[in-house]
Amino acid sequence: MVDLSVNIAGLHFNNPVAMASGNAGYGIEYQSVSGFSNKDVGAVFLKGTTIEPKLGNKPERVMESACGLLNSIGLQNPGAQAVIEKYLPKLDLSASQFIINVSGSSIEEYGKIVKMFDQTDLPAIEINISCPNVKAGGATFGNDPDMAARVVEACRKNTTKPLIVKLSPNQTDIAEGARRVIEAGADVLSAINTLMGMQIDIHSAKPTLGNNQGGLSGPAIKPVALLKVHQIYQVAKQHNIPIIGLGGIACAEDVIEFMLAGASMVAIGTALAKDPLLIKKINKNLVKYMHKNNIQKISDLTGTLELNTDTVLCR
């Protein structure tokens, strides 16, 4: 027997592979897929939610790119109260761990929406800090360690639930950003969010996305995500803070790489659009890998990367 379960911030997950926010909807959309069960996934991160309803950005909002996907959805959602009243009652909380993802346009909004979900039965809250601060001229919270820390402090004051902070890869020093949000009260780090990118139609000489730019996800960003997780782990392990790795994961080998780099579990997004049953298949292959390598607990992989020691810096 091998053990795929992991324990993070006092929460038990049946396996280390979750559905990333933005791709799993509100936990009920995938139920119509034949063969899918929430019991097969480690967790479901619900779609990003704001206090007030949002229509999102104008089209086009999703475009394929080389080895990836560009999206500019714009946090379309029905608003926190509608999610609490309409969607949460439909979830079978015994099937998996369902975790809400929240966003705000000001520090005060973050505190308010976290307080709303603190009063629900959801076990944890993921904070998306890759959002523009309307009070600071549109500067992104997650790219400024000071603003990121203030957001987490405001959220920490409004909930006793575990706080998962989703880090932006678009900041100058992600390890420093991780340190600041840990000190502000983060219980878990999630990395990475999408990289900012653009695609241009050479015939119209205009961006293909209606919002001009969007977040790049998929296999193209995996090498960047792995490095960021490794860098964050150097800080997180000093505080016993677990990491949820994401960015281009599409197979069991990818999951193992992220765990070796320091992740305690992972989340999959873009790859699920191609194969909604992918996580079930990945877990089967993880079991095969564990049997082959005489590994009893999947959690034993975390942070066991052996760095090369004879490297030479290029000048």
Rounded distance, CA 33 to CA 276, Å? 7
Amino acid at 107: I
Out of 67, 131, 251, 314, the active site residue is 131
Token couple for 278: 């992918």
Are 186 and 193 a contacting pair, CB within 8 Å? no
Token couple for 225: 């995500």
Amino acid at 276: P
Checking phi first, is residue 202 left (phi over 0); if not, alpha (psi -120 to 50) or beta?
A: alpha
**Among all chains, which residue has been given the structure tokens 């960021």?**
228
131 among known catalytic residues: yes
Token couple for 161: 């639930």
Amino acid at 16: P
Are 125 and 163 a contacting pair, CB within 8 Å? yes
47: nearest Cα among 29, 82, 12, 23: 23
Residues 6 or more apart from 309 whose CB is under 8 A from it? none
Which positions are catalytic? 131
